[in-house]
Chains A and B, each alone.
Chain A
């Protein structure tokens, strides 16, 4: 099977059973990656299972382009039922693990059941072994990777840290030292299965249909990626991202405070100096020219890889209001080692500080741990407790929505989250009506599986480009204005589709749009030998998206669940370029109506009979 490896590994940890599934059963209708992941989840998990129970499955799925020569094809998609939202949960990671799995002869791994004792899985081509991991249990991510490479230095390692072991809903799955599938609590699902790690080594490689064509196409893709503004900026993006957030008015501070943080400019300057005073060496995922992460070493301290493009540092600085870069760095490495989602954890810390200040929780609740914006030392302590589920950390480990429910009292009033309870990422959504809609209708877990590169987000700094993009998508330049509710459902639909393509093909969502659909589908044809008509592609994407919806409907999702927390509809922004912006409930619901209609779903957000028939989902 060109492009694909042809087999998906199925491991039932309860039964100690290892078998394989033919990829070709699914690839025609669901492409790969996220698409096949959703299909497997829908077929294999009965409705309303406990996400942390043995019945839930955890899918690691590569796409047909993963590990081929195609630029930026180091991806792997994770699909499961999320313990944070009890809905579909998905996350995606770059690096080298997905490609290695493909080269070992597998397009994906499905984990079912629960091991009696902690185990890890070692894959070496056809040899797949479930091994005892009691010595690894309790070890942090860096230690685990190092141990699993002793004597097997070429191993690529997917693992969880203590946060995943303790089933924190904020825990992700780490791939080697840096790359994370961080969102939707996927690490907790792995921990609940008593699975510490999956180490992979593959020497089989993948077959390519037309190597000459692939080489030509890939050079073209590479050149397009080099024309992206990010390409030039990537090595300094680690601090420039802060500036970009400032320029576009995208950042929010603390626990979604109405005012700007007066130290924000100073914080950026500090980070810039901190990076320049230490050593930063740009790095890339497999075959990617973008170098959006780097290895960073601080004098006298252990070095670690850091990422620029997803805004982990700004989350720490802005949510916790930390202007001391040393603590930003410490908290960042702490989260990486403990196996925590940096954005989600920072948001939860900011919430706790808010609750503390408002007197909803007290010293007694937190068992003496201080939650105070700007106090990096105290936050570092609190984060360790969160990962270990000690004291108040046990409640915060649930993630924002479930934590405020447990705290009770008036706590819910202070919470900000997107659909299902997932923490919002770095971007403010009140002025960006399209992003707000995307965060509410998303069925794939995290909202950044749909909103990356929204034209709304760069409207202030690059208005001309934003208008051009909006015109190409919906035919109207004014659609680019973030604050208008008009045309937004169409934009959301378009960006969701693009993300589904990228996540299903196995390429990174960041260069996906700048390179353009045509080159990616040509690369797909060169790798697999399958000619795809644009019509078929659109139908495939619609099918994947609607199946995501069907999964959530089956879990009991209703129209009213497609929303964000109340605060975003009640509290307006009080300072800065978006002063006065708040979400309007009526207009918001109208956007949903239009979005459902465009997707072929009814007023309750359920796919219609006609849509199911068209997509072959009946």
Chain B
């Protein structure tokens, strides 16, 4: 079963550890501009939202690539870029509806989340444990359970039970 990287937005505290570990493991440097993930901050509202490729089921990046350089990794299900084929036209960046891809500032290549061969470093290093790799068939019920927890404690309050 295909697995996906998901993030629990309520847990994210905006420390950007994920950006740096991503850059460190892929590029052996500390540089958010070379990371495959960016924590988008709305500081006035205290919101932190890590953004990265969602490995779409119908990847627009693959469809628009004139060089046929983007393909799905059969092992992890991640969309990968064949840098030998890539012509650097950046059409994929333009087409992606969520901003999953970016352009390496010095190497001039497309970079994107490759799920670290199925074992993403951000999952291990996030101090809040906000990331998780979840199997596709479990993702829906997982969110349902997480979100209904709040409701469940309301019910507890009303019935006098304990959390």
**Residues of A in contact with B (beta carbons under 8 Å apart):** 67-69, 71, 96, 103, 142, 145-146, 176-178, 202-208, 211, 214-215, 218-219, 222, 226, 281-289, 291, 294-297, 303, 305
Q: A149's closest neighbor in chain B, by CB? A: B43
Q: Which A residues lie within 8 Å of B31 (CB)?
A: 103, 203-206
**Residues of B in contact with A (beta carbons under 8 Å apart):** 13-17, 20-21, 23-25, 27-34, 43-46, 48, 105, 124-125, 127-128
Q: Which B residues lie within 8 Å of A285 (CB)?
A: 15
Shortest Cβ distance from residue B58 to the other chain A in the assembled complex, whole angstroms:
29
Q: Which B residues lie within 8 Å of A178 (CB)?
A: 43
Interchain residue pairs with CB less than 8 A apart (21): A67-B30, A69-B21, A69-B24, A103-B31, A142-B44, A176-B43, A177-B43, A178-B43, A204-B31, A205-B34, A207-B29, A211-B24, A211-B28, A215-B25, A219-B125, A284-B14, A284-B15, A295-B45, A297-B45, A297-B46, A305-B43
If A283-B46, A295-B46 touch, whether A208 touches B24 (CB-CB below 8 Å) is yes
Whether the pair A284, B13 counts as a contact (CB closer than 8 A) is: yes
Q: Which B residues lie within 8 Å of A305 (CB)?
A: 43, 46
User: How far is it, in angstroms, between the C-alpha of A205 and the C-alpha of B27 when the chains are bound?
Assistant: 11
User: How far is it, in angstroms, between the C-alpha of A305 and the C-alpha of B34 when the chains are bound?
Assistant: 28
Whether the pair B127, A286 counts as a contact (CB closer than 8 A) is: no
Q: Which A residues lie within 8 Å of B128 (CB)?
A: 289
If A205-B34, A214-B24, A222-B127 touch, whether A287 touches B16 (CB-CB below 8 Å) is yes
Whether the pair B28, A303 counts as a contact (CB closer than 8 A) is: no
Shortest Cβ distance from residue B24 to the other chain A in the assembled complex, whole angstroms:
5
Q: Which B residues lie within 8 Å of A226 (CB)?
A: 127
Q: Which B residues lie within 8 Å of A291 (CB)?
A: 13
Shortest Cβ distance from residue B36 to the other chain A in the assembled complex, whole angstroms:
14
Kindly identify which residue among A146, A214, A282 contacts B13, using a CB–CB cutoff of 8 Å.
Answer: A282
Q: Which B residues lie within 8 Å of A67 (CB)?
A: 30
Whether the pair B14, A283 counts as a contact (CB closer than 8 A) is: yes
User: How far is it, in angstroms, between the C-alpha of A261 and the C-alpha of B159 when the chains are bound?
Assistant: 41
User: How far is it, in angstroms, between the C-alpha of A206 and the C-alpha of B34 when the chains are bound?
Assistant: 11
Shortest Cβ distance from residue B139 to the other chain A in the assembled complex, whole angstroms:
24
If A103-B32, A303-B44 touch, whether A205 touches B127 (CB-CB below 8 Å) is no
Q: A68's closest neighbor in chain B, by CB? A: B30
User: How far is it, in angstroms, between the C-alpha of A285 and the C-alpha of B45 when the chains are bound?
Assistant: 16
Q: Which A residues lie within 8 Å of B125 (CB)?
A: 215, 218-219, 222
Whether the pair B46, A303 counts as a contact (CB closer than 8 A) is: yes
User: How far is it, in angstroms, between the C-alpha of A295 and the C-alpha of B34 when the chains are bound?
Assistant: 28
Q: Which B residues lie within 8 Å of A288 (CB)?
A: 15, 127
Q: A69's closest neighbor in chain B, by CB? A: B20
Kindly identify which residue among B20, B25, B44 contacts A177, using a CB–CB cutoff of 8 Å.
Answer: B44
Q: Which B residues lie within 8 Å of A202 (CB)?
A: 33
User: How far is it, in angstroms, between the C-alpha of A215 and the C-alpha of B15 when the chains are bound?
Assistant: 16
Q: Which A residues lie within 8 Å of B28 (CB)?
A: 208, 211
Q: Which B residues lie within 8 Å of A214 (CB)?
A: 24
Shortest Cβ distance from residue A1 to the other chain B in the assembled complex, whole angstroms:
13
Q: Which A residues lie within 8 Å of B127 (CB)?
A: 71, 222, 226, 284, 288-289
Q: A279's closest neighbor in chain B, by CB? A: B46
Q: Which A residues lie within 8 Å of B23 (CB)?
A: 205
